[in-house]
Chains A and B, each alone.
Chain A
Amino acid sequence: MEPFSNLKSKPVPLDIVNVDTDQIIPKQFLKLLGKTGYGKYLFYNWRYDENGNAKPDFILNLSEFEGRTILLTREHFGIGSSREHAVWAIKDFGFKAILGTSFADIFYNNCFKNGILVVKLDKDKIDHIFLEKTNKNIEIDLLNQTIKIDSDIYNFDIDSTLKSYLMEGVDEISTTLKFENAIEKYEIDNDPLIFN
């Protein structure tokens, strides 16, 4: 995984609550066998009509938002299905970070496994960005855990382990395999093979 570097971009404001992963990537696109190539299907049913034409009013189809790498969301983003394809689509489309109030647990975990930074801010701050700052650059400094918009600076919390994974681009499995002795000891002390 590539290390996460500091980011500066205007946001793409998706002003909808309770966005579920079925919307982020509809089921008909879960049949690929790889992790790439999902970006063109991101928010497919909101982005395209039944004939596959881009809907002119959907935010990802508006030229002024093209190339922006921060997705600005509302409460309860990523609820529902555990499909990591949702994160692969967000990443493949070009987003590097997601800003919002709250995120579903599995979706949140999946983001960090793929190098996507998820930043949780209080509702009043997110409301403020939606109201006044959607055309301003947002600077995310992961090391110092700050977000800067104009003269506003917000601090954000992040789990220190997730932070270091992102900063160093760590492969989590390699890290875990260093605990081989502890795992083996657990298996000797316990019997996970409780079958007939």
Chain B
Amino acid sequence: MLKTVYDKIWDNHLVYSYDDKHPSLIYIDRHFIHEVTSPQAFDGLRMYNRKVRKPALTFATVDHNVPTTNRSLPMVDEISSLQIKTLQKNCQDFGITLFDINDQYQGIVHVIGPELGLTLPGTTIVCGDSHTSTHGAFGALAFGIGTSEVEHVLATQCLWMKKAKNFEIILNNTLKNDLAISAKDVILSIIKNIGTSGGSGSVIEYRGSFISNLSMEKRMTICNMSIEAGARAGLVSPDEVTFNYLRDKPYSPKNESFERLLNEWRELRSDNNAKYDQSILLNVDNVIPQVTWGTNPAMTIDVTSTIPNPDEYAKGNEEEKKSAVRALEYMDLIPGIPITDISIDRVFIGSCTNARLEDLIEASIIVKDKKVSPNVKAMVVPGSQQVKLSAEKLGLDTIFMNAGFEWRESGCSMCLGMNPDILSPGERCASTSNRNFEGRQGTGGRTHLVSPVMAAAAAIVGKFVDVREWI
């Protein structure tokens, strides 16, 4: 039978299966945990006197609430500090590897997994965080879980699941300007087209010539936001780009084991003519820079467009129309205004979507020898300590700081504002993160999702600009 990459990974991980109507027991190869969604899971283990089944398969880091300012100073937020100390104790008690706050490998969990070579093709990967879909870029089945499931995986190294549907998104052709237009614009366009639940109940496989020619970092940006389309996971069949990325990563298999695995990994890609439950095609040569205007990621427009009126957006759906009216009110926007007329107060370049080295290099090209608008406060938060170090070796820190950006320590930071990096009420932010929900970056804050180069250009001008005019 012809199989998709998802079918193959699924079949390879079946521990126990009744039939299609019941959930199957699936083995989990990698479990990432962080300070916010794990404490209750360890409490549960203690309550029943259970141990962690395979401590060597779980990796922990602190990312959600860590400060991104000077880490030699004590943490101001005592509650966050307690969550971090709790994770330290849990990892120690249960024998789990922790990349702690001052570790060279600390960073956003979805940035460090791949860069350390922990994320491998054909594996199943879970984390108590919805953006776990990022790891799917390596041809892994990776998805977010709740804390009860975190506890379940710790105790059993397995999860009960029903198989999801196969959804292929074929991305063909090339971008018209591959610096000004990016993977972020492609995934925002997809979400705009299929909506926040378009991928519900499915695993999305991104295919086509555009994907084949894309770097691992950009594939991660696309898979990362699969959850914003409601998908259970997003993935890409692994290929030579994947394998080359993984060679010589700190934890990736070495020498003969790597070569042996390569043979297995090469068999993983979806079979030609494998069957998909749903299929859409997007020619990326039509994609131009995107900016979100509303309070969910499907509320996205081309940078050349005006703020839509609710009728135009809702296409006859009354509830969606109400939602658009509400979003316009929250965002303080009026239909008909060009998005490039909108002034911003803050710029955030960071998050598991767009804080890897390529993202920072591209943004730095835009800001080099320019100055951040006097009305804008801008910051760069590298995705990990390794990203930060590599960027500093290239002198990117100097470029950003000379332009007036703050250059911070790694973490989730203002993507969700659990640490002190938040918007004030009413502030408007051009952000490279993944969610523009009400209050996401700070109560009353207004988020516009964009690519790193779009955010960088907005920082310089103080308004959204069509970055294609610059490069």
Contact = CB atoms under 8 A, between A and B. Distances in A.
B257 A194 contact: yes
Interface stretch (A89-97, A99-107, A147-155): A99-107
Interface stretch (A2-10, A57-65, A108-116, A138-146): A108-116
Contacts of B208: none
Nearest to B147: A84
A27 B445 CA distance: 13
A16 B151 CA distance: 32
A45 B443 contact: yes
A18 B40 CA distance: 27
Given A173-B155, A182-B16, A194 B253 contact: yes
B470 interface: no
B200 A192 contact: no
Contact of B158 (A15, A83, A176): A176
Contact of A84 (B123, B148, B296, B319): B148
A50 interface: yes
A15 to B, nearest CB: 8
Contact of A75 (B25, B48, B162, B319): B319
A158 interface: no
Given A82-B128, A196-B252, A172 B440 contact: no
A142 B319 CA distance: 29
Interface string B48-90: 1010011011000000110000000000000110110010000
Given A87-B146, A192-B29, A196-B253, A45 B323 contact: no
Interface residues of A, number: 54
- DSSP class of A's interface residues: helix, strand, loop or mixed? loop
Given A31-B418, A113-B149, A192-B54, A179 B251 contact: no
B448 to A, nearest CB: 16
Interface string B148-186: 110110011110101000000000000000000000000
Contacts of A81: 129-130, 416, 435
Given A17-B320, A106-B144, A79 B197 contact: yes
B230 A104 contact: yes
Interface of B: 12, 15-16, 21-23, 25, 27, 29, 36-37, 39-40, 43-44, 48, 50, 53-54, 56-57, 64-65, 79-80, 82-83, 86, 117, 120, 123, 128-130, 143-149, 151-152, 155-158, 160, 162, 196-197, 200-201, 227, 230, 232, 250-254, 257, 261, 296, 319-320, 322-323, 326, 416-418, 425, 435, 437-440, 443-444
In the A-B complex, the 5 residue pairs with the closest CB atoms: A113-B148, A84-B146, A110-B146, A82-B144, A82-B130
